Amino acid sequence: MDPDRRKFLSASVSTAATAAFARALNAEAAPAQPSSKSAHEPLDVTIVVNGRERRMALDPRTTLLDALREHLGLTGTKKGCDHGQCGACTVLAQGQRILSCLTLAASVQNRDVTTIEGLIGASGALHPMQQAFIDHDAFQCGYCTPGQIMSAIACVHEGHAGSDGEIREYMSGNLCRCGAYPNIVAAVNDAKTAMASPG
Amino acid sequence: MRPFSFESVTTANDAIAAGASGDGGMEFLAGGTTLIDLMKLDVMRPTRVVDINALARTELGRIDVQRQGLRLGALVRMAEAAEHADINTVYPAVAQSLRLAASQQIRNMASLAGNVLQRTRCPYFRDVSYEQCNKREPGSGCAALDGINRSHAVLGTSDQCIASYPGDFAQALIALGAIVDIAGPRGMRDIPFAALHRKPGDAPDIETTLQSGEMITAFFIPAALWTRRSVFLKIRDRESYEFALASAVVALDLEEDKVRDVRIALGGVATIPWRATAAEAVLKGKVLSARSKRAAADAAFADAHAHEHNAFKIELGKRTLIRALDQAAAMEI
């Protein structure tokens, strides 16, 4: 930042609130991020997917969903509406559930992303939530299921699976056109107990 | 999606510098839940996207509950503010307005500043196959005036645009008299939240008073006697994950059953976040009674103007406000 600009900015600070922001102006927030000089230059993007560092050269327009499916071959995460309305593309980023269709791959640089493929443990055992979906017949066609399961795991971790009503409210971002909702609620209820028990 | 250049900034200075470069096709990217959606629909067409998410590790990502008020950084995510214990106790309408919006996935992504700047859900705005939309293509006309306008606004409309403002959080901010901190190429400034959004008038494409390259850095809600007794009530076609047909924020300062002061905002029914000052004036100093509540609701919608399919919103909006008043009055604080 050039000195004139610095002076100008600090001179314009008028309130305590903006003073706090001014202090943050020069704070280096994070390591370097990908950037492209032009729209036609590929971005060098690294994402830690299911514990494995994956480096890709991507068009800036590539969503996390398309990076997973088309570039890494991880087709477990589904493309439903592609507009953030159905939840089929739900994955975990830094442990939090997000919609991969509305996330640019470049904006999750160096982040930990977990997909349905990353749930199976080293022993090959299913995650308790996956097992509960099978036990409770919580799907018919199965297309929404990976998103439902990722969302359900986050729902339990967030502490939002306290009652049937709370599960329904906090799972409302995942649509199921087959209408398996009652069995999905039963599966989440069941898995939350299994997830709480050690081992 | 059209091509764009992408860059991530790691300091607020770099973000402001990006804004100062005078590139009219620049958009800041936070949660992306509006921007990426509308870019896929070809409604928004930035040539340059500047990712500001790394700034969430600075002041922009902080919640600060102070004696003087509540300070919310622009990059705080909806879910974080919705579940904050002090916000739920001292500013319940703020937490409710965030918790009842969108889905948990979207609340984990969407920033507070992005939330207040979200674009209308008017189907004629979102679908570029409709030629007429004064928001999208200034001067092209408004397909909603003679189209299916059930979801559209009855307050703050013009003959150029009747699109309703879709958000919920903004109603809490305008009711509680929030201040918006803004940083940009010409320095920093703060404005009342009520001065952020513009009515459509004859320029529906200009939705806010933000200047080119400016970004919101924080919201400040001043502490007041009415914040603890505050309610956000949302009425919609389905019980979850849906935009409001009508909503109301009521914040009450009661002396027994007499209204010492009251703040009222309405959502789902107006083109911008809507403070119902006429309704507030009706109630101030009065006892909350069926008659005074009805008079306030009538005052709130006195200037309402309906179109073919949305006349129901006038009565629905009044009943929503009356119920919100009842809920606020019944709160145990």
Cβ separation A33–B7 shorter than 8 A: yes
Q: Is the pLDDT of residue B22 over 80?
A: no
Structural domain boundaries, residue B234: 230-330
Instruction: Return the pLDDT at A32.
Output: 53
Q: Is the pLDDT of residue B299 over 80?
A: yes
Q: What CATH code is carried by the domain that includes residue B239?
A: 3.30.390.50
Q: Which of B7, B47, B71, B104 to mutate to test the interface with A (most CBs of A within 10 A)?
A: B104
Q: Which of B222, B240, B269 is the last residue of a domain?
A: B222
Q: Which of B222, B248, B266 is the last residue of a domain?
A: B222
Q: Which of B222, B240, B266 is the last residue of a domain?
A: B222
Whether residue B313 is found in the same domain as residue B243: yes
Instruction: Return the pLDDT at A11.
Output: 37
Nearest to B103 among A59, A63, A173 (CB): A173
Whether residue B200 is found in the same domain as residue B299: no
Instruction: Return the pLDDT at A13.
Output: 38
Mean pLDDT of B72-96: 98
On whether residue B322 sits in a domain, the answer given is yes
Q: Is the pLDDT of residue B290 over 80?
A: yes
Instruction: Return the pLDDT at A21.
Output: 59
Instruction: Return the pLDDT at B333.
Output: 87
Nearest to B8 among A21, A34, A172 (CB): A34
Cβ separation B37–A154 shorter than 8 A: no
> Mapped to the 3 state alphabet, what secondary structure does chain B carry?
CCCCEEEECCCHHHHHHHHHCCCCCEEEECCCCCHHHHHHCCCCCCCEEEECHHHHHCHHHCEEECCCEEEEECCCEHHHHHCCHHHHHHCHHHHHHHHCCCCHHHHHHCEHHHHHCCCCCCHHHHCCCCCCECCCCCCCCECCCCCCCCCCCCECCECCECCCCCCCHHHHHHHCCCEEEEEECCEEEEEEHHHCECCCCCCCCCCECCCCCCEEEEEEEECCCCCCCEEEEEECCCCCCCCCCEEEEEEEEEECCEEEEEEEEEECCECCCEECHHHHHHHCCCECCHHHHHHHHHHHCCCCCCCCCCCHHHHHHHHHHHHHHHHHHHCCC
Cβ separation A24–B58 shorter than 8 A: yes
Counting the structural domains of chain B, the total is 2
Hey, which residues 118-147 in chain B have their CB within 8 Å of chain A? none
On whether residue B151 sits in a domain, the answer given is no
- Kindly list the residues from chain A whose CB atom is less than 8 angstroms away from the CB atom of residue B79: 96
Whether residue B239 is found in the same domain as residue B107: no
Q: Looking at this predicted complex, what is its ipTM?
A: 0.96
Cβ separation B217–A84 shorter than 8 A: no
Q: Please give, rounded to a whole number of angstroms, the shortest distance from the CA of A158 to a CA of chain B.
A: 10
Residues B227-280: tens digit of each pLDDT: 999 999 999 999 999 999 999 999 999 999 899 999 999 999 999 999 999 999
Res. A41 pLDDT band, cuts 50 70 90: confident
Whether residue B215 is found in the same domain as residue B325: no
Mean pLDDT of B101-107: 98
Q: Is the pLDDT of residue A39 over 80?
A: no
Mean pLDDT of B291-314: 98
Whether residue B278 is found in the same domain as residue B295: yes
Cβ separation A87–B47 shorter than 8 A: no
Residues A2-21: tens digit of each pLDDT: 444 433 343 333 444 455 55
The mean pLDDT of chain B is: 97
